[in-house]
Structure formats: C-alpha cells, structure tokens
Structure 1
Amino acid sequence: MFYWFLKWIALGPLLRVVFRPQAVGADHVPLEGPAILASNHLSYADWLFMPLTLSRRVTFVAKAEYFTTPGIKGWFQRQFFSGSGQVPIDRSGASAAEGALSAAKRILAEGELFGIYPEGTRSHDGKLYRGKTGVARLALESGVPVIPVAVVGTDVVAPPGKKFGRLVQPVVRFGKPLDFSRYEGMENDRYILRSITDEIMYEIMRLSGQEYVDQYAARAKEEQKKAAEQAAGETDEQKKAS
C-alpha cells in the first residue's frame, strides 16, 4: 500500500499534467466494494491510464518475471509493479488461467477492484477481438458486477511495437455495471459463459467505437505474422528469379 501511495504522489501527477487523461462515466464505479473492470486493450499503457482516472486502487495480474528479476533493476521493477496495483502470476504453465482466476477472486473477496482484459492480449491493429470466457466465470463465481471499460487513445501514446508515440489525451469511458446474478450456479455452462462474455464485449465495443472481430486476438496476430512471412518469402523468390 505504501508504494501504491508513492505512485499516486509521484507518477500520477506527472501523467496527469502531461497527458490530462479524461474520464467519462467514472460515477459508475462504486466508491467501495468489489467490482470487475473489464477493458479493451490497445496498449501497454492501458493499465496506467485507466486506474489513474479513479480514486480507488485497481489491481491487475502481471507476468511473474516482473517480480523475479535479480539485482537493483529487479528491485525497482518489483517495487514499481507491486505499488502500481500488479500481482504476479506464472503465465507459462497450463494452470496459468486457474492461477489468475484464484488471484482475482482473492482480490475481489477483499472488497477491491480487479482489472481484466477479456481479449487476453493487446490488439495489434486497433480492432476489438473476441473475449475469453474467464471474465464471465470470474463474475459468476465471485458474484460481483462487471463494469465495461473503454480506453481510447493509448495506442497513439504507446503504439504496438513502440515505446512512445504521440502526445494525445487518453479518454477512459466507464459503462453501467452489468449484473449477471440471474446466471448464479451456471459457471460450468460454456454456452452461458460465452453469452455473458459476448454481452460484456458488446458494451466495450459500444463504449470504444472499435470495429469488432469475432476471432481471438492471439490467433489473428499469428495469422498476420504467417501472412507477412509468406509475403516476404515470395518477394525473396521474385528477386532471385529476376
């Protein structure tokens, strides 16, 4: 908690002055009690700007490597991520999803806000991709509301593949809380989980204005990579032939 406080008195004011992030609908986020903040994911900067527009701490899960790097650099990195609302999770194994779910339920049980990116990875082209059903399962097992969130402009501040872009004003839009208590006890029904997830993604799409693609982002990235490699190979063959 001490380092979270340091983040707000040091990093927070700097980001506010430089980028002037704007919040819309922040009153939809409860002043106390647990809630899931389900957001789109355009940039690695999303987890900085979204919590910055709220008075409450928002906790995310982050890869364990951020917390295990040795040396002085590792110490500062560990303090920064811990203080800015991150908890470590080993995402390399088959049980990564279960570990993330357990961590999320623990945070919500403590009455905190938990942030999640249903797409599972950053969008590589600015489009909104199909959500994974972990967010629906978490909502049903924890019994807390889901607040859809759209972060706009962070892909300009920090574009994919780059550390820095252009100076723009990010906008964070919070939607009305979604209550899924009508599905209580149905967390093992995959059709219910998909229906809940699609409802959440629709609200995120409505808030963000992004084009929706009914495909997982990770698969879309892989297909784009293969297409680029194939195109590069064909170009090399053409050069050799000429």
Structure 2
Amino acid sequence: MTNWLSVQRGDAPLILTFPHVGADLADVAGDFRSDWLARRDADWWVDDLYAFAGEMGATMIRTAISRSVIDLNRDPSGASLYPGQATTELCPTTTFDGDPLYAGAHPDAAEIARRRANWFDPYHAALAAEIARLRARHPHIVLYDAHSIRSHVPRLFDGELPQFNIGTNGGASCDPALEAAVATLCAASGHSHVVNGRFRGGWTTRHHGRPDRGVHAIQMELAMRGYLTEPARPDPANWPAPIHPDPAILPTLRRVIAACIDFAKGRS
C-alpha cells in the first residue's frame, strides 16, 4: 500500500477495482478552479458499498487519487472509448456536466505524461500483478470494475440511467455465461438494468479482460439512487450525500459478487 493506492489481497478468484472513489487532488489541487467541482464526479462510497466482498475473499484495489487528476479507466493514449459520444479525457478538462475544471491552461502533453507515470501506470501495474498472482492459483478469475454515477447527467445520457449498467465491451471481455449470470440477477432484482448500453466498459475491462487467458472482466456502473439519496441538483451543501444505512440494491450486489466467484470456480 502507498499513500494513494491500496491493495487488499484475498484468495478467491475475484478482483474488485475502484478507480474513481478517490478525492485527493494531489500536487495539482491549485490548478483547479474549484476543489468541489474537481471532486464532484467521484464514485462516492462505492468501495464502502462493496466492503462485504473482502469478507468473501475478493482482492480489492482502491485509489485515493481523484479522477479529475487522471482517470485511471481511460485509454492512456488519449483515444476516446466512446467515439462520437460526450465523455471526459484521460486528464479531464471538464466535469460530467461540462463545467470547466481549470481556470487557466489545461494540462499539456508533458504534464499528462507525468501524471500517467505517477498514478496511471503504477495502478495498472498493481492490477496486473494481482491478476498474475490469482491466475497462478486459479485457472479462471473474474475482474469486476466497480463504478457509480448520478442517475441524471444530461450531457452524457438521456433521461434516467438504469440502476444496473453492465459492461463487457460487447461481450469481448468475459465469457457469455458470466455476462448472462450477472444480467439475470439484475433483472430479477426488480430494478432496471442494461447490458452494454451507455457504459460498455472502460480501459480496465477492455485492456485486462482476456477470457481466452482465464481473465473475465466485467464493469458495473450503478446509478447512485440505489444507495444514497440524490439531490435534484448537487451543490457544496448537499453533495456528496451520505450512503444509505441499508441500500436497496445491496442484496442484489451480494448475489452478483457470489455469482462471479461461483462462475470462476465453476470454470476451474
């Protein structure tokens, strides 16, 4: 563990990653025009929501670095993962709502390279090391990339986002049986869900998911209404809202995580 990267090791054939739960603006805090805006789009409390998975033997990888400093789930080349759709960059220059993050100049190529070397590369090296460690013990493992987002972000998607957004890069990042198992549980929950909709999986699932090599990667993007009370419009006085003491979606998430472990063991 470093002061910004935490790896909680388990022995089950499952890794949970949390690339966007951090709020640390590191050594570039002074460059942002608003600390609050630079932290607003974090995946608030998602690592707390999934804390139970550690008790089930999952490996948990978290970062404290804010996605506004560098987004650990973007293509490091800078290429868009969603061509033709609104999104944010490797080193974002706007919030999800399109608000500018910088009062002055945006990060230039040298600064982006520095941030990548400091945070992006070590994060993915740590993830690759855990994949290798668990693959040495298990013929198949599941990599579960955990995310959340506000239910309404008009710049990114129309209307209300489904509660459970499952991404497998169009089925390329995991075995179809895993995708089907997770989708079936989400459908049975009574909450809305979609597979490979607006969020089809970011760099983590697309880069590390190699089902032909026993690494089955899936992204879960949760609408935040399932575990906290979302205000109509977030502001510094009401955001982030606290996590609900008994989230409505927690029983389904427990079943989903158990199914991921069962899938990997069944393939073993």
Normalised TM-score (structure 2): 0.33
Question: TM-score, normalised on structure 1?
Answer: 0.36
Q: Which has the larger radius of gyration?
A: 1
Larger fraction in helix: 1
